[in-house]
Chain A
């Protein structure tokens, strides 16, 4: 297994930091992609951050009330070695689907 850190992303509108309001996951939890991870508050609004990927939560940075700057560590995931750090996504193997049927007169062969 490999560790994959996820820093606080750029939340837009020139915001440079956010305050942790409430963690929605705990260390040791298995999370899915897009599952809400944490509620944070900026000077503009409060919002939930979705998980960028699936994996096990290894470490959380910051208790409720702590301020985290954009780019600083927010969470560390544990992911399988063969998928850590890749660019893109692992293709899923699906049963082949078709719409085109073939027809031929092979008699002359």
Chain B
């Protein structure tokens, strides 16, 4: 057991309690710290990620600890950040670039779509692209234009890319580690409105203490599974809240809102299941079929505009897999088909509690014929 600890206990004192209370930014920082420690080929690059530690403090302290040659600032040129990452990956490195805000991924789209996503295919597997692009994503912080975009449908449409979004500190820690260890390019969408909310995180070091279902400091096997620290947990969706009557499908910041809605729905006797999709490409179709096969009703919630949003894909998967048992068409509660608005209008744009409850009610009262 002690040998295991020396491999991956970075940042966690051996024998420390099984879980840490961290914000999402702190959990991502810990994951990057541990990844840089375990993988000498790992690099962190982007605007202000070095000296400043990132505008959201996700890379705080990493340059001082792991060296300015491994955690470094780049010019303000997203196309260059991605181009450099692709070249570094070709040379055998495992770059973790950051684009400071979602809206600034657009200047890098050519590199992402035409090079990053295709190099593995183009080279018949000879040149894999183990690049994880971190993108602070979605809205909710009253920021100016280009700082509140939801790009998941754009990137999920590109063959060769994987897309994932963590909903809370535990998911951030576990999914970032999984993404960086993958041989494929991953777009990692961090919900910026959730950066500061704290939650308990089971670290890999704590999980390596072994399970302690009989008590003690180590996490239980259920905690390890829930934390996504098993192989199965790292590639699919997860049930954030079990329920019987209806499935809310969400990702990123909308998971926390759907959990609030589920509590309110329970006051009215409606037992809502919340499915945190986590991976937006590939989508865990089996998890959707299992959940909606049970509840027979589904509402999908996302911040992105409705038309050609990922909600349409989710609704179609559910329809294909559950058509015979569905009680109602799958409802979508989404942003609107407009440019992301300024801060004052943000609360009208992002699906709020009442809009989600309305969506649930429409499904509940649907009558065939």
A residues adjacent to B (C-beta < 8 A): 81-91, 93, 96-104, 106, 109
Contacts and interface: CB of A to CB of B under 8 A. Distances in A.
A88 B270 contact: no
B52 A85 contact: yes
B142 A96 contact: no
Contact of B57 (A81, A87, A101, A104): A81
B101 A87 contact: yes
Interface in B121-171: 140-144, 147
Contacts of B264: 96, 98
A98 B55 contact: no
Given A82-B196, A87-B55, A100 B354 contact: yes
Interface string B25-68: 11000000000000000000000100011011100100000000
Contacts of A102: 265, 268-270, 357, 360-361, 364
Contact of A81 (B60, B147, B357, B364): B60
B353 interface: yes
B358 interface: yes
Contacts of A86: 55-56, 141
B191 to A, nearest CB: 11
CB-based closest 8 A-B pairs: A88-B143, A88-B141, A104-B364, A100-B357, A102-B268, A96-B260, A100-B354, A89-B142
Contact of A98 (B26, B143, B270, B353): B353
B263 interface: yes
A88 B55 CA distance: 10
A97 B353 CA distance: 7
Interface of B: 23, 25-26, 48, 52-53, 55-57, 60, 101, 140-144, 147, 192-193, 195-197, 245, 260-261, 263-265, 268-270, 296, 343, 353-354, 357-358, 360-361, 364-365
Given A87-B144, A109-B245, A82 B270 contact: no
Contacts of A88: 141-144, 147, 192, 343
Contacts of B141: 86-91
Contacts of A84: 57
Given A82-B57, A85-B55, A98 B361 contact: no
Contacts of A90: 141, 196
Nearest to A84: B57
A101 B193 CA distance: 27
Contacts of B296: 109
Contacts of B26: 82
A75 B313 CA distance: 51
A1 to B, nearest CB: 12
A83 B141 CA distance: 12
B245 A106 contact: yes
B357 A104 contact: no
Contacts of B60: 81
A86 B263 CA distance: 32
A91 B192 CA distance: 10
B263 A96 contact: yes
A88 B365 CA distance: 40
Contacts of B360: 102
B184 to A, nearest CB: 30
